[in-house]
Amino acid sequence: MATLDAAGDALVVRIVYDGPPIAGKTTSLLALAERLGHGRLFTPEVSGGGRTLFFDWLEYVGGRYDGRAIHCEIVSVPGQAEFAPRRRLLLSSADAVVFVGDTCASGIDETTAHLADLRAHLATREGPPVGVVLQANKRDLPDAVPLERLRGHGLAVIESVASRGEGIREAFVFGVRLALDRVRELERLGLLHRVPRAHDEAGRLLTALRGVALSGDGRVLFPEAASQTGALVGHAPKVPDAEIPSGWVWPPINGRVSLQEATARGVPLARELSPDEWVADSESGWRFHSPPGGAFVDPDEARAALSLWAQVHASLADWMSPSRCVALVEHGGRFRLWQVVRSEPTVWKWLASNLKAADAGALVDQAARLCNRVAESWAKAPWELPCTLETVSALDGSFVSLVPDAGSVRPTESTDRRARLRHQLQTLLEGELGVKGHALARSLAGG
């Protein structure tokens, strides 16, 4: 996730290059390094056949964002199926994805399947959507599929011939623009944090990936041995469960019930999302989150912070989904605050899943009416809740995401939520339905 460096003079974003095996990811980064004048690409390990085993890494500083330098971390994923856990971990940190697709006739089916898997994975990400640009590679081959077929995916398409460096810089620049769009939304939601950046970020990432074991079905496993050494989980804090002491969870009764449900299939292991920011996802569909600065040495300070979180949540109870709690857990002499929320279907995911399988006009009309109710209702909340299609429940219009840091929540502002939600609806429609979506968006704007 994008961050501000500790000094505040640079914005750090990560552009991840994804795609099927031998589609041209490494070749693209080699060409990009040359065109950016950066020099050698860093690839930790390759197979005997020259295949990437972990990632390719490139850094570039260029451009400005609100007066800050833009520091780009550019990383490719291994494409082979057996390395899917490493790929998914790398994608979990992407601010934008450049999808390098083999667009010749012999490779288009695998490209399409890989792209569908990418979009399904990104749909599970919290926060603003992660933009994807399709870098249509191997366009010099005689059996390259028609460009119209590629545009049917609803993504920006940039043609490339990576072996000649054609289209490489253009795809990267578009990816950076998508990342900055996401940064702007993160900043608006209060989710753009200032954190210290590791001196050797590539080395830190490699250590984390070495701690990820590979299973036959593509799941990520964290063996005990890896958890003792891997940077990803070696210093991971304990996640709260239903056994925590009395007074360490709010609400006091329903909160403990929520923890019992969230950990019924096992207590998940935490992973570091950004420095000192931790998340965990349970098999029963709950998200655990501890923000930067959420750890305390003094137990009285920790309890005071829990009390503040409880007050904010209590005041917002009429607007939030009920399946949530805040909890305090002790581990290694430190006390850490966690927010625990059950995943609920959002308006964005509901529409994205159903627009093409039903009467789009009726669905859009239903979503628009729900958004109107949400805009009116949330304006009465005592604190400002991030109001997006990704935070609104498709079931009842409640807030289903994480509440911003309790120490930084702001009183409700007189912003036009209705206009913002309708703009997001228009963006979703045009991306999912193309021309038809554009027509519906025009109708929506006039409604």
Average pLDDT of the chain, as a whole number: 82
Q: Which amino acid is at 336?
A: R
**What is the mean predicted confidence (pLDDT) over 323-352?**
90
- Predicted confidence band at 287 (pLDDT cuts at 50, 70, 90)? very high
Residue pair 428/348 in contact by the 8 Å Cβ criterion: yes
- Predicted confidence band at 224 (pLDDT cuts at 50, 70, 90)? very low
Cα distance between residue 8 and residue 181, in whole Å: 19
Cα distance between residue 384 and residue 403, in whole Å: 9
The helix (run of H) or strand (run of E) holding residue 393 is: none
Domain(s) of CATH 3.40.50.300: residues in the chain: 3-206
CATH number of 3-206: 3.40.50.300
Residue pair 14/202 in contact by the 8 Å Cβ criterion: no
The two tokens of residue 184 are 């702007």
The two tokens of residue 243 are 């056994």
Please report the pLDDT score of residue 444 as a whole number. Answer: 53
Q: ∠119-125-131 over CA atoms, to 5°?
A: 55
- Residue 199 pLDDT greater than 70, yes or no: no
- Residue 230 pLDDT greater than 50, yes or no: no
- Residue 427 pLDDT greater than 50, yes or no: yes
- Residue 293 pLDDT greater than 60, yes or no: yes
Question: HSE (CB half, 13 Å, CA atoms) of 179?
Answer: 29
Please report the pLDDT score of residue 441 as a whole number. Answer: 53
Please report the pLDDT score of residue 231 as a whole number. Answer: 32
pLDDT, tens digit (0-9, with 9 covering 90-100), for 116-169: 889 988 888 878 899 999 999 999 999 999 988 888 888 889 999 998 999 999
- Predicted confidence band at 284 (pLDDT cuts at 50, 70, 90)? confident
Please report the pLDDT score of residue 179 as a whole number. Answer: 92
The two tokens of residue 134 are 């399709």
Cα distance between residue 75 and residue 309, in whole Å: 37
**What is the mean predicted confidence (pLDDT) over 174-196?**
87
Please report the pLDDT score of residue 87 as a whole number. Answer: 87
pLDDT, tens digit (0-9, with 9 covering 90-100), for 71-106: 999 999 987 777 788 888 889 889 999 999 999 998
Q: Which amino acid is at 10?
A: A
pTM: 0.52
**Torsion of the alpha carbons at 353, 358, 364 and 365, rounded to the nearest 10:** -140
